[in-house]
Amino acid sequence: MITRVATILLFCLSSSCLLKGQTISPRIANYKIQVELDVDQKTLKGSQKIIWQNISTDTIKELRFHLYYNAFKNDQSTFLKNGGRDGFLSNSEFGWTEVFSFIDSDDTQLVGNSYYDPVDDGNVKDQTVLVIPLASPIMPLGLGEFEMEWKAKIPKIMVRTGYNKDFYFFAQWFPKLGVYEPAGMRYATKGQWNCHQYHSSGEYYSDFGNYNVSMTLPRNFIVASSGDLLSKRDEGEMTVWNFSVEDVIDFTWSCSPHFVSEQRVHNGVKLKYYSYPYKTHFADRYFNTLSFTMDYLNDHLGPYPYPTLSIVDAPLHGIFCGGMEYPTLISSISFCFLPKGVRVAETLIAHEYIHQYFMQLIATNETEEPWMDEGITTYYEGRIMDALYEGNRASIDVLGFKVGNAEFNRTEFFGSSNIKIAPNTRKSWEFEDGGYSSISYNKTAIWLKTLEGLLGIEKMDEIMKEYFLRWKFKHPCKNDFVDIVNEISGTDMHWFFDQVLEDVLVCDYAVDYAWSVENEETGTYYSSVIVHRLGEMKIPVEVRMSFEDGSQRLEEWDGEAPSFRFSCNENSKLVSAEIDPDRKIYIDKNFINNSYSIKKSKSIKHYFNRFLMNTQQALEAFNFII
């Protein structure tokens, strides 16, 4: 054992100290990769050293790798079969990864015994999970060191990764280890690899580690990458770029001969913006939004711990790589033809940056629990964008049409074809009939905002800060989040999570009727309000009664019964009643029926006026073509 440790230490030293530096993460999966890009053949040739730390008390007899590029190997892969994109790629545009050598520290070649394991659906045509049985098991708390040789054919960009023209985006490009979950971690009852096939919906799950990556590519290419540039040297017609990043769960890079870059520093973080010359005018929009978002999360959660952040604004022919998050590198989408008031670029950059916290720092399993990264990120996106652009105009502000971010997400959810399609707990690949986006992103954001309404924003901030501090550089699951909510709020909120997270219930409270009758003897008014629970969801709500003299009365209702009546005797006549007047219950599907004014609104005649005049104008518009 002592000899083994000594060997490992030596290996570490010889591998440019992959595990060096101040440790802020467990550094379980560490990679030193050398890769060569062949732009003519559209291939990558790679060799990588892997140091894997067994943090469990289990003896590890096999390793499991994601070969994500094999999702594009044929149209029978699980990714392409379920993605509904048959025929999207031609034969020459498919991609794949082949591992042709895997050697352990005893120089034993292990690749011969390797096999593909379609763990999720048994599809034998799917080769996205490679199992390599080990000749020498990795002992409890031991280190494993390996050298791997592989070759990859780069797929034409279909989603997230690949090439188009001379734009390359390398995400999920190298053979990447799954996560070994010992008993007690997340839902594991016994030690097991968590290494799912690559599915068309859903993303990734990886361990923290250090990366040192050298890319060899033609000299005219410029590289945008995770981490910081250590060195760059020319070798004949090629240039070797060397990047390094520590304590992250993945490594992504992109290159193009057309990239132009701009750098700024915010809060000590080097922000590197890569774009094409025709869209550099977006730089300010990105930097401004990013600075605000960084400050907001710094204040509300904690500091961003890395020295760099790269932003890739993909060209039009690379947009399917845009709008994605990777450790210390995010990609966005911007369109020159959209008016400035349509804030696609700003929204995306804020969203992807928030993922640095909810995906990268808090490394949840995106494949199994997509709401934990996408939903929480969308919730913060709403908070940040609506704070940056006050007045419900964060998403769209064009010619008087104003749409806020949170309200846009709410409408996306309630406008989806089936809001009851699945509970939030559904695994990403189980959304076979749709609903992944509306449930994982939008519904989560809505119920988190509802939770914020129920607990108060200060308590919510306290919860999220504690969640961040306790679970950064770890892999929490649903229960961990719920436990923190219960702990910090001081109340058992299971009743809430059972409804919003585990079930598919609809929330709709309404004021059905309100009236007031004068008691001529006493001169007081007897007023009543009937409220209804039209949905299945039961949430305590407030009901505000407003009286003619300006006074108000706030009642509380547990929201359990299908209907309830509030009655009171007051000196003034009831004017209106409103359920949830402060819009705390953001998950309520209809805000229109939340209030009742005894007198019909005078605004109706204004609307009638508008309808009438607009219709008159539209009718007369025929004149232009007759």
Partner 1 sequence: MGKVMQAFLKGFSTVLNSKRIWFFQYAMNLLFALFIAYPLSKLLSKVAGNSLTIDQAIGNFNYTIINDFLQNYGLGIEAIKSQSVIVFIIYFCLLVFFNAGIIHVAQRFPGAYKFRDFLAGGAEYFWRFLRLSIYFLIIYLLLIFLAFKIVTIEGLSPFKLENELGLISRARIVIVILLILFFILNAISDIIKVFITRSRDTYITRSIVMGMSFFKKHFLKFVSLALLQLGLLLLITGSYLIFRKFSNGSPNWFFLVFLIGQFFIMFRIGLRIWRLSSVYQLILRV
Q: Which residues bind partner 1 (CB under 8 A)?
A: 156-157, 164-165, 276, 278-279, 315-317, 319-320, 335-337, 392, 400-404, 407-408, 410-411, 414-415, 576, 578, 589-598, 600-609, 611-613, 615-620, 622-626
Measured in Å, how far apart are the chain's first and last C-alpha atoms?
92
Per the listing, tokens 């060191």 go with 145
Q: Give me the amino acid identity at 377.
A: T
Amino acid letter, residue 358: F
Smallest distance from the beta carbon of 234 to partner 1, in angstroms? 28
* 358, two tokens: 């909810």
CB of 11 to partner 1, least distance (A): 44
Closer residue to partner 1 (CB): 3 or 417: 417
Q: What is the DSSP string of 249-270?
A: S---EEEETT-EEEEEEETTEE
**Residue indicated by tokens 């989040």:** 481
Question: Would you say 187 and 206 are in contact if contact means Cβ atoms under 8 Å apart?
Answer: no
Using alpha carbons, select from 459, 477, 297 the residue that is nearest to residue 381. Answer: 297
- Quick one: which H or E segment has residue 479? helix 478-489
Residue 273 corresponds to which tokens in the numbers above? 């913006």
Of the two residues 56 and 576, which places its CB atom closer to partner 1 in the complex? 576
Beta carbon nearer to partner 1, 157 or 464: 157
- For residues 172 and 160, the answer to whether their CB atoms sit within 8 Å is yes
When the beta carbons of 459 and 573 are compared against partner 1, the nearer one is 573
- Cβ proximity to partner 1, 148 vs 333, nearer residue: 333
β-pairing verdict for 253-256 and 167-170: antiparallel
The tokens 């550094």 sit on which residue? 27
- In angstroms, what is the minimal distance from the CB of 178 to partner 1? 32
Minimum CB distance to partner 1 smaller for 329 or for 579: 579
Q: Which ranges of 15-144 does DSSP label H, i.e. alpha helix?
A: 78-82
* Least distance to partner 1, CB of residue 385, Å: 14
C-alpha distances (whole Å) from 102 to each of 27, 42, 133, 309, 587 are: 21, 23, 11, 33, 51
Residue placing its CB nearer to partner 1 in the complex, 3 or 90: 90
Phi, psi of 602 (to 5 degrees): -70, -15
Taken in order 417, 421, 425, 426, the sign of the CA dihedral is: negative
Residue 625 C-beta: closest distance to partner 1, Å: 6
302 with 245: CB under 8 angstroms?
A: no
Pairing outcome for strands 162-164 and 167-170 = antiparallel
In whole angstroms, the minimum distance from the beta carbon of 600 to partner 1 comes to 4
Q: How many whole angstroms separate alpha carbon 150 and alpha carbon 147?
A: 10
Nearest alpha-carbon partner for 510 in 404, 593, 604, 599? 593
Q: By C-beta, is 183 or 338 nearer to partner 1?
A: 338
- Closest CB to partner 1 among residues 400, 523: 400
Q: Closer to partner 1 at the Cβ: 14 or 601?
A: 601
The Cα–Cα gap between 509 and 567 comes to: 18
Query: Cα separations (Å) of 199 from 34, 165, 431, 508, 549?
Result: 27, 26, 10, 35, 61
Minimum distance from CB of 286 to partner 1 (Å)? 18
Cα–Cα nearest to 88, from 168, 162, 152, 38? 162
CB of 411 to partner 1, least distance (A): 4
> How near is the Cβ of 290 to partner 1 at its closest, in Å?
23
To partner 1, the closest distance from the beta carbon of 153 in angstroms equals 18
Question: Closest distance between partner 1 and the C-beta of residue 396, in Å?
Answer: 8
Task: Tell me whether residue 84 or residue 523 sits nearer to partner 1 (CB atom).
Answer: 84
CB of 403 or CB of 482, closer to partner 1: 403
- Alpha helix positions (H), 266-340: 283-300
- Cα distance between residue 563 and residue 566, in whole Å: 10
CB of 413 to partner 1, least distance (A): 10
